[in-house]
Amino acid sequence: MDPFHIKKAPIVYDAVVVGSGAGGGMAAYMLTKAGAKVLLLEAGGYFDPADPKYITQLKWPYESPRRGASTTRPGGDFDAAWGGWDIEGEPYSAKSGTEFFWFRSRMLGGRTNHWGRISMRFGPDDFRRGSLTGVGDDWPITYDDLKPYYDRVDRLIGVFGSVENLPNEPDGIFLPPPKPRLHELMLKKAGKSIGIPVIPSRLSILTKAINNERGACFYCRQCNRGCQAYADFSSSSVLCIPALKTGNLTLKNNAMVREVLTDPRTGLATGVSYVDTITLQEVSVQAKTVVLAPSTCETARLLLNSKSARFPNGLANSSGVVGKYLNDSTGASRSGFVPSLMDRKRYNEDGVGGMHVFTPWWLDNSKLDFPRGYHIEYGGGMGMPGYGFGSGIENLNGKVPGRDGKMKPAGGYGAALKDDVRRFYGAYISMSGRGEPVPLESNYCEIDPNTVDKYGIPTLRFHYKWSDAEIKQAKHMQDTFEEIIHALGGMPMGNKPGPETNYGLAAPGRIIHEVGTVRMGSDPSKSALNSFQQAHDVKNLFVVDAAPFVSQGDKNVTWTILASSMRTSEYLIDQVKRKNI
Amino acid sequence: MKRRDTLKALSLTSLGMAVGPVEAAVPEPPEPKPAVKLLPGRQKFEAERDTQLMGQKFLTPAELQTVTILSDIIIPADSHSGSASQAGVSAFIDFMMVDQPRMQTPMRGGLRWLNNKCVSRYGKPFAQLTKEQQIELVELIAYPGKATPDMKQGETFFTNMRNLVMTGFYTSKIGIADIGYVGNTPNEWKGVPDDVLKQYGLSYE
């Protein structure tokens, strides 16, 4: 076999979907349910959370020789996500003085195998930050355009939460939320005392079964390992596998897409070319429409690499905007020790895979020195020990009086140390702020002129710097965290992050919420896609991951990816019916 | 397994039983490595790496002995549970040395530092000291911020050792039972037990 002889598949698919995460999974699901013949290309391997050969759920730490340490995957041995910030043979770079960390999951379902299942809708204001604040841009659509799709995603996939009637935190069609754990009840009470709302979280976990294909949550707190009962949302179990069952989907794993192919005469997309990562065979496939969802940065890379005489700046890029306005959530965190939780009664409080309560953004930015808000996620409780358990006890056990009421030196050893561990277990809490950045044209990814990956595909180079808006927001987070810890009667751990670390603001990319590189808009000179995420320049090319998003709110973006992809898929079907494409 | 394959496997086994005198004279091949039990869902490179690492050791027998003594000083058996060595902590520490090689120099060098201090104070390396002498030395390095300047490196070494031993112990069956973690099993979460709510003066309203 000559791998450089490009194999041309004889079939012309109705659509080829690139990427099997939330956006691609939803498009494959919607299109195949409507009867279209779809080819789904995924760069990584097959994965089914219910197949025992992949199941790490309910395993014990000692079943890993490194006790779950993150030596080969960032989330540790038990985490379902393959890949990470560094993948052998798939480099990326950053321009001097800037940084960006790019997390990729090469597997069926992509990064939906890894995430925290936090499933919030954007609020009405999140679509019009530009006109509300004079900073940033509005979306070409409003909350009302997306609301029917959010409703349908809620019903199709399932999300728990509580009806709160908050102005910019739209309620969904919720399953019952799990009751707060002990430290979460304490957080609620503490929040109330200082005017910070603490409400049930909104996670796509089935606290009740919603159909015969998926089970209900059995409260092991391990969603990040994938759920063998399909009781949480992963694109593999909830979208891709059901799409396969329609008989209309062809799934090709290990297919790394190189380029979107176009007809030089009509300028329309004709399919894609990919390299089979196992055999290294080059293949080109034909399709009447091309739907991209390989992730925000991968979509920009693919378009910029799809250059031709007709599209010299890359595909769908006559505006030159592709790659620009890259933005990730802000993130900062702090932990605390709550003495009143020492010597707790033991019981199983695993609960769902994540927090049972959270704090939505509660303040008015017009009265603050930064333009965008954040929400707070909480951690704590009597969790399963993992790698790192007990590390750093020397930072605490010298600050808490012993059973005899006397202080003792930090660190130590022996039976007294064991006793400290028993006393302190379950008495820690942690909080993480996740905030909205202001998207900037100067934060971007572009093709690195000098570098290719192991398949010969030109790689990305990033240019990303936080601005004052995000740094001031992180400072506010740190002040709030201490306020909450003190209201709990707790002790903040470690030193308060200050200006020398941008107040603990995580480096760009670390929160893995990046959006914005192929933005939508009504003006084709300033945007790549129209309000249906259809390329202005190529009418049979669509983008359904988070690349089209003009901004990301202070909400995690998965639920909006799902709703937008559903909306775009229906628009695509409608356009085909009308013979417009 | 298909019937045909089962038969094939059986015939191979019986061949193995028919060892004649000539074959018996040939030195036995090294014992086959015990089959490595890998976690499910490993990527190909992870499976290969894990399999390779399981056969490796970093610590020498003498180093391992010292690590084991230190582990049991840090986590001794008490009225609640067993010791670090009973929980297999030394083997875990040795594995971490090959899994994360950046740990090797602080470990090897730290043990060397310790033995040098012991030889100059007591004329013997740590493992050969009396229990009292070992504790006397540990007391000098076990309390961060309290060590004298000539003991600072020892303090860092002991802090690292404490952290590794803690992780190794509390992620073992014995350690998990000691702290009383009772989850990791299918259940229905019904909220905080009533007596605990009462103890903390909280309610679900």
pLDDT at A535 over 70: yes
In the chain, the amino acid numbered A44 is G
Element (H, E) at B133: helix B131-141
pLDDT of A8 reads: 82
Residue A6: count other Cβ atoms within 10 Å of its Cβ: 12
Bridge partners, residue A460, by sequence: A447
How many angstroms separate the CA atoms of B32 and A320, rounded?
61
Q: Is residue A67 part of a domain?
A: no
How far are the Cα atoms of A135, A142, A457, A473, B143 from residue A126, in angstroms, in the given order?
A: 12, 9, 36, 17, 51
Task: Check residues A287 and B4 and name the one with the higher pLDDT.
Answer: A287
Taking CB atoms and an 8 Å cutoff, what residues of chain B touch A63? 39
- Token look-up 């030195």 returns B27
User: Sign of dihedral through CA atoms A383, A385, A389, A390?
Assistant: positive
Give B16's pLDDT tier (boundaries 50, 70, 90): very low
Provide, as residue numbers in chain B, all residues whose Cβ is less than 8 Å from the Cβ of A417. 74-75, 162
Are B205 and A180 within 8 A, CB to CB? no
Rounded to a whole number of angstroms, the distance from the CA of B69 to the nearest CA of chain A is 12
Q: What is the pLDDT of residues B39-70, one digit of tens each?
A: 999 999 999 999 999 989 999 999 999 999 99
> How distant is the Cα of B111 from the closest Cα of chain A, in angstroms?
17
Q: What is the DSSP string of A342-367?
A: TTPPP----BSSS-SEEE---S-GGG
- Chain A residue numbers with beta carbons less than 8 Å from the beta carbon of B55 are none
Confidence class for position A3, pLDDT limits 50, 70, 90? low
Q: How many interface pairs between A and B have CB atoms less than 8 angstroms apart?
A: 202
Which residue matches tokens 């069609």? A173
Instruction: Pick the residue from chain A with its C-alpha nearest to B175.
Output: A385
CA angle (A132, A133, A136) in 5-degree steps: 105
- Got the DSSP string for A179-195? PP-HHHHHHHHHHHHHT
pLDDT higher than threshold 80 for residue A452: yes
Coil vs helix vs strand at A153 = helix
Whether A488 is covered by a domain: the verdict is no
Which two three-digit tokens encode residue A82? 């393959």
Is position A299 within any domain? yes
pLDDT for A156 equals 98
Residue B43 neighbours by CB distance under 10 Å: 16
What residue in A sits closest to B179 (Cα-Cα)?
A422
CB A382 to CB B183 under 8 A?
A: yes
The verdict on a CB contact (< 8 Å) between A218 and B187 is yes
A62 belongs to a structural domain = no
Identity of the residue in B39, B142, B166 whose CB atom sits nearest the CB atom of A77: B39
Residue in B closest to A341 by C-alpha: B200
In a domain, A204, yes or no: no
DSSP string, A258-303: EEEEE-TTT--EEEEEEEETTT--EEEEEEEEEEE-S-HHHHHHHH
Q: Which residues of B touch A352 (CB under 8 A)?
A: 189
What does the pLDDT look like over A395-444, one tens digit per residue? 999 999 999 999 999 999 999 999 999 999 999 999 999 999 999 999 99
Question: Which of these, A542, A522, A562, A509, lies nearest to A297 by C-alpha position?
Answer: A509
- Identify the domain containing residue A300 by its residue range: 1-51+74-158+233-329+436-465+515-581
Report the amino acid identity of residue A210.
I
The answer to the question of residue A495 being in a domain is no
Q: Are A34 and A221 in contact (CB under 8 A)?
A: no
Is A202 a member of any domain?
no
pLDDT at B30: 52
- Tally of CB atoms within 10 A around B10: 10
- CATH number, domain containing residue A549: 3.50.50.60
Domains of chain A: total: 1
Phi, psi of B109 (to 5 degrees): -65, -40
Instruction: Report the chain B residue with the minimal C-alpha distance to residue A49.
Output: B41
pLDDT bracket for residue B37 (50, 70, 90): confident
Distance CA A254, CA A43 (A): 5
**Prediction ipTM score:** 0.95
**A342-386 residue pLDDT tens:** 999 999 999 999 999 999 999 999 999 999 999 999 999 999 999
Of B78, B146, B182, the CB nearest to A409: B146
Q: Is the residue at A356 inside a domain?
A: no
- Tokens 């690139």, residue located: A18
For residue A210, the SS3 value is coil
User: Residue A515 carries which DSSP code?
Assistant: B
Q: Residues A60-83: pLDDT tens digits?
A: 999 999 999 999 999 999 999 999
Return mean pLDDT, chain A.
97
Question: Which site among A347, A389, A407 would you substitute to test the B interface, given the most B Cβ atoms closer than 10 Å to its Cβ?
Answer: A389
Query: What whole-number distance in Å separates Cα of residue B166 and Cα of residue B175?
Result: 9
In this model, does residue B2 exceed pLDDT 50? no
Contacts of A261 by beta carbon, 8 Å cutoff, 6+ apart: A269, A270, A271, A272, A273, A284, A306
- How far is residue A287's CA from residue A534's CA, in Å, rounded to a whole number? 16
Task: Tell me the three-class secondary structure of A229-246, residue by residue.
Answer: CCCECCHHHHHHHHHHHC
Contact A65 B54 (CB under 8 A): yes
Q: Do A392 and B163 touch (CB under 8 A)?
A: yes
Please indicate whether, in this complex, the C-beta atoms of A68 and B171 are within 8 angstroms of each other. Answer: yes
**Closest Cβ–Cβ partner in A80, A185, A421 for B170:** A421
Given this model, what pLDDT does residue A5 score?
78
What's the whole-number mean pLDDT along residues B27-31? 49
> For B184, which of A52, A384, A413 is closest by C-beta distance?
A384
Task: Note the pLDDT of residue A547.
Answer: 98
Choose from B163, B179, B182, B200 for mutation: most chain A CBs within 10 A.
B179
pLDDT digits (tens, 9 = 90+) for A316-352: 999 999 999 999 999 999 999 999 999 999 999 999 9
Cβ neighbours for A215, distance < 8 A, ≥ 6 positions apart? A206, A209, A229, A230, A231
A157 vs A233: CA distance, rounded Å: 7
Give the β-pairing of A491-492 and A93-94. Answer: unpaired
The pLDDT, as a whole number, for residue B15 is: 36
CB A442, CB A474: distance < 8 Å: no
Residues in A closer than 8 angstroms to B184, CB to CB, are: 58, 60, 220, 350, 384
One DSSP character per residue, A547-572 reads: TT-S--TTS-SHHHHHHHHHHHHHHH
Helices (DSSP H) in B33-88: which residue ranges? 44-54, 61-74
Closest to A172 (Cα-Cα) out of A145, A201, A192: A201
**Contact between residue A274 and residue A259 where contact means Cβ atoms under 8 Å apart:** no
Residue B11 clears pLDDT 50, i.e. is over it: no
Chain B residues touching A218 at Cβ < 8 A = 186-188
Contacts of B175 in chain A (CB under 8 A): 385
Please indicate if any CB of chain A lies within 8 Å of the CB of B168: yes
Q: Which residues of B touch A73 (CB under 8 A)?
A: 46
Task: Work out the pLDDT band at A44, boundaries 50, 70, 90.
Answer: very high
A501 pLDDT band, cuts 50/70/90, is: very high
Is it the case that residue A470 has pLDDT exceeding 50? yes
Contacts of A184 in chain B (CB under 8 A): none
Average pLDDT over residues B71-89: 98
B175 touches chain A (CB under 8 A): yes
CB within 8 Å: A385 and B138: no
